[in-house]
Amino acid sequence: MRLCKYLKVIFMVLLSATIFTVTVHKVSYEHFKNLVNNSMVDHIFPKEPCACVERCLAASDDEWFAKRFRKDVSPVLALSNSILPEHIFKWWQSLQSRSTANYSQVIKELFSVVPGEEWYRDAGPSRCRTCAVVGNSGNLLGSHYGPFIDNHDFVFRMNKAPVEGYEKDVGSRTTHRIMYPESASHLDNNTHLVLLPFKTLDIQWVTSALTDGSIKRTRFKVINQLQATRDKVMVMHPAFMHYVHNTWLHIKSRRSYPSTGFLVLIFAMHVCDEVNVFGFGANSKGTWHHYFENTPKFFKRTGKHSGGIERETILELQKRKLIDLYTGW
């Protein structure tokens, strides 16, 4: 299995060097319709959930996965789904210090600045959206995953993780950067911002950071005016965060909550058809550190995150062939 994954990476690297464009993950459902009549297509591909060849999350009949994966939970806040059930609102508020701000007013102000429609509800038989979730582990160094990562439709990165200088191992493309105010960085015009709102103030911050810059401090000093394209800004739904906490991790402690990396992984599984994961876990020497650190440090403590449960769940997803987990050489 591990050898097959390495051969796949090498194959993708070789593909990136050729002058021809070859798509190995997709097969066009519409193209088949042009070749044969609709009845033949429906017979050959009955109720085809997506157009991916290797794997299609929507097609999984795995019982373990079915007990956890809920298509009805929207991953992104929108005007139409912004009302929170009381138990979810209380859980969300408990993650940080309680806010006296009026949530409804905060949402109204948010969607006066950024799009208010639901994102990524376009799943279907003609779509094959491949996604790379790129963590920050030191196991990326020397991996040469860069061209393979860049070949995905969506490339998710977290917080301030740099790309420049590490392209051969981590890739050069970023379609979505997931952050919270304290980990924010400026974005180019092609990158979506996905805000992780751990408190009401975080949503107030993104509205402010895209307008008047009035909020200069949350838990500590933050970027008060952010370079980002307003039309590419979205906010992860607090109800989605609660769902990951309760359904995927079964965390009982109110003081614990999912890590950014795990939230992004489940987010990707909801908006993508095929998910590949890079840069999670320790390196080959067992050291846990960020690939961009000059002096690697051990940090096995996971603070308020249930690191052990998250790791076991990710390995289970890999075992059941629901994702591919790439852990370096």
pLDDT 10s digits, 84-126? 999 999 999 888 777 789 999 999 999 999 999 999 988 889 9
Nearest to 202 by CA among 185, 174, 181: 181
Per-residue pLDDT at 190: 95
Distance (Å, rounded) from C-alpha 203 to C-alpha 196?
9
Mean pLDDT of the chain: 84
DSSP-assigned letters across all residues of 84-103: PPHHHHHHHHHTSS---S-H
Active-site residue 29, yes or no? no
Show Cβ contacts of residue 41 under 8 Å, excluding neighbours closer than 6 positions. 29, 32, 33
How far apart CA 28 and CA 107 sit, in angstroms, is 39
Q: How large is the average pLDDT for residues 238-260? A: 86
Percent of the chain with pLDDT over 70: 79
Q: How confident is the model at residue 45 (pLDDT cuts 50, 70, 90)?
A: very low
Q: Is the pTM of this model over 0.95?
A: no
pLDDT score for 48: 63
Say if residues 230 and 210 touch (Cβ distance below 8 Å).
yes
How much of the chain is in helix, strand and coil states, percent to nearest 5?
A: 35, 10, 50
**Residue in 274, 67, 96 with CA at minimum distance from that of residue 181:** 96
How long, in residues, is the chain? 329
Closest residue by Cα to residue 320 from 3, 67, 12, 24: 67
Quick one: average pLDDT of 251-279?
Answer: 90
Residue type, 14: L
- Residue 24 pLDDT greater than 70, yes or no: no
Q: How are strands ordered across the β-sheet holding 176-179?
A: 233-235, 192-195, 176-179, 154-158, 130-134, 274-278, 324-326
Structure tokens at 161: 């993780």
* Sequence letter at residue 25: H
Q: Is the predicted pLDDT of residue 306 greater than 80, yes or no?
A: no
Interstrand relation of 176-179 and 130-134 (parallel, antiparallel or unpaired): unpaired
Confidence class for position 5, pLDDT limits 50, 70, 90: low
Pick the more confident residue, 38 or 123. Answer: 123
| Confidence bin at 33 (pLDDT 50/70/90) | very low
Q: How confident is the model at residue 289 (pLDDT cuts 50, 70, 90)?
A: confident
Q: Which of 145, 243, 257, 326 is catalytic?
A: 257
Give the model's pLDDT for residue 37: 43
- Helix/strand/coil for 76: strand
Give the percent of the chain with pLDDT over 90.
67
The pLDDT tens digits of the residues spanning 185-227 come to 999 999 999 999 999 999 999 999 999 999 999 988 999 999 9
**Domain-wise residue ranges, the chain:** 2-326
pLDDT at 284 exceeding the cut of 80: no
Distances (CA, A) of 23 to 20, 27, 52, 58, 175: 10, 8, 11, 21, 19
Of 242, 270, 290, 305, which is the active-site residue? 305
Q: Is pLDDT above 60 for 1?
A: no
The answer to whether residue 289 is catalytic is no
Name the CATH architecture for the domain at 2-326.
Answer: Alpha-Beta Complex (3.90)
